[in-house]
């Protein structure tokens, strides 16, 4: 696989991967906000978000109808739609594109669910390799605790309950995520993952992420020609404080 830089795209693509609860989504959100503040042309995309298949995926999960093959194909359809309609146009336009999960999620999850590795890779063979892939490696207990914060129980597919690993969702989650971690580890060298210690404090991780991005990508090339539009100025009559209070409320 060639990277987008090697394919001479004007833009660059950064992907983050990791177990559920690894904190990767928080890190890429913070990276996006930082790049925006630096005046960089940036676009964000996340796994399983295409309007083309989003509702079908949601219904299939709620009714627990998705087989491993169906799961794999529906996610591949989601990715292909976003890749052609969003990622490639923005990369051609010279944007830094951020992806919360890329094809490596399928390479790990789908194989653990029983799909042949060669088959899974075959249905994603149209995709180029990211210019930077950061793998957030967290301990299973850390991931589980983060997932459970703010909600009472694990979701059916999230815990790998469709695989019959255990009747206990928490034990099933540990086994399922442990196997996914093994797959990520197996492919990390092949696809040049940069491994981040996801057990570190959020601020420490973000500092390392920003440093890494700055070293790997010449961000000056992706500066906006004009700054983002400023918010409207305060109306006459000294109402600025009032507007700020309304906004805060």
**Mean per-residue pLDDT, 66-83:** 90
Three-class SS of residue 77?
Answer: helix
Task: Examine residue 41 and state whether it is found in any structural domain, yes or no.
Answer: yes
Task: Examine residue 127 and state whether it is found in any structural domain, yes or no.
Answer: yes
Residue 127 is part of a domain; what is its CATH number? Answer: 3.40.50.300
Task: Examine residue 97 and state whether it is found in any structural domain, yes or no.
Answer: yes
| pLDDT of the residue at 236 | 41
Pairs from 189-194 (Cβ < 8 Å, separation ≥ 24): 191/1, 191/104, 191/129, 191/133, 192/129, 192/133, 193/17, 193/104, 193/133, 193/134, 193/135, 194/132, 194/133, 194/134, 194/135
In the predicted model, is pLDDT for residue 232 greater than 90? no
Task: Examine residue 246 and state whether it is found in any structural domain, yes or no.
Answer: no
In the predicted model, is pLDDT for residue 156 greater than 60? yes
Confidence of residue 67 (pLDDT cuts 50, 70, 90): confident
* Range from 86-90, 145-149, 210-214 carrying the lowest mean pLDDT: 145-149
Going by the DSSP 8-state scheme, the letter that residue 226 receives in this structure is S
**Mean per-residue pLDDT, 20-49:** 94
Three-class SS of residue 10?
Answer: coil
- Rounded Cα distance between 206 and 144, Å, is 21
| pLDDT of the residue at 122 | 97
| pLDDT of the residue at 239 | 39
Split into its structural domains, the chain has a count of: 1
Exposed / middle / buried, residue 247 (Cβ in 10 Å: 0-12, 13-18, 19+) = exposed
Domain coverage including residue 82 = 12-226
Task: Examine residue 5 and state whether it is found in any structural domain, yes or no.
Answer: no
**Mean per-residue pLDDT, 153-170:** 89
* Range from 59-73, 134-148, 158-172, 188-202 carrying the lowest mean pLDDT: 59-73
pLDDT (tens digit, 9 = 90+) per residue, 79-136? 999 999 999 999 999 999 999 999 999 999 999 999 999 999 999 999 999 999 999 9
Cα–Cα separations (whole angstroms), residue 154 to 11, 16, 23, 37, 50: 37, 22, 16, 35, 24
Task: Examine residue 243 and state whether it is found in any structural domain, yes or no.
Answer: no
In the predicted model, is pLDDT for residue 165 greater than 70? yes
In the predicted model, is pLDDT for residue 195 greater than 90? yes
Task: Examine residue 231 and state whether it is found in any structural domain, yes or no.
Answer: no
* 132-137/194-197 β-pairing: parallel
- Rounded Cα distance between 92 and 235, Å, is 40
- Rounded Cα distance between 173 and 143, Å, is 10
| pLDDT of the residue at 234 | 43
Task: Examine residue 245 and state whether it is found in any structural domain, yes or no.
Answer: no
Sheet of 12-18: strand order equals 42-46, 96-100, 12-18, 132-137, 194-197
């Amino acid at each position: 696989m060639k990277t987008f830089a090697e394919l001479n795209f004007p833009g660059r693509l950064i992907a983050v991967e990791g177990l559920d609860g690894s904190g990767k989504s928080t890190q890429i959100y913070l990276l996006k906000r930082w790049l925006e503040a630096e005046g960089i042309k940036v676009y964000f995309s996340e796994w399983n978000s295409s309007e083309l298949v989003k509702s079908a995926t949601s219904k299939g999960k709620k009714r627990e109808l998705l087989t491993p093959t169906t799961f794999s194909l529906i996610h591949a359809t989601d990715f292909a739609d976003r890749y052609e309609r969003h990622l490639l146009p923005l990369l051609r336009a010279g944007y830094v594109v951020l992806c919360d999960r890329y094809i490596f999620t399928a390479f790990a999850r789908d194989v653990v669910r029983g799909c042949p590795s060669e088959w899974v890779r075959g249905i994603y063979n149209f995709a180029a390799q990211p210019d930077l892939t950061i793998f957030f490696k967290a301990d299973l207990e850390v991931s589980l605790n983060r997932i459970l914060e703010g909600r009472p129980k694990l979701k059916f597919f999230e815990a790998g309950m469709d695989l019959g690993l255990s009747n206990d969702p928490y034990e099933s989650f540990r086994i399922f995520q442990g196997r996914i971690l093994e797959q990520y580890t197996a492919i990390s060298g092949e696809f040049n993952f940069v491994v981040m210690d996801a057990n570190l404090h959020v601020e420490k991780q973000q500092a390392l992420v920003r440093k890494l991005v700055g070293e790997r990508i010449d961000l000056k090339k992706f500066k906006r020609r004009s700054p983002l539009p400023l918010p409207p100025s305060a109306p006459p009559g000294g109402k600025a404080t009032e507007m700020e209070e309304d906004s805060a409320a």
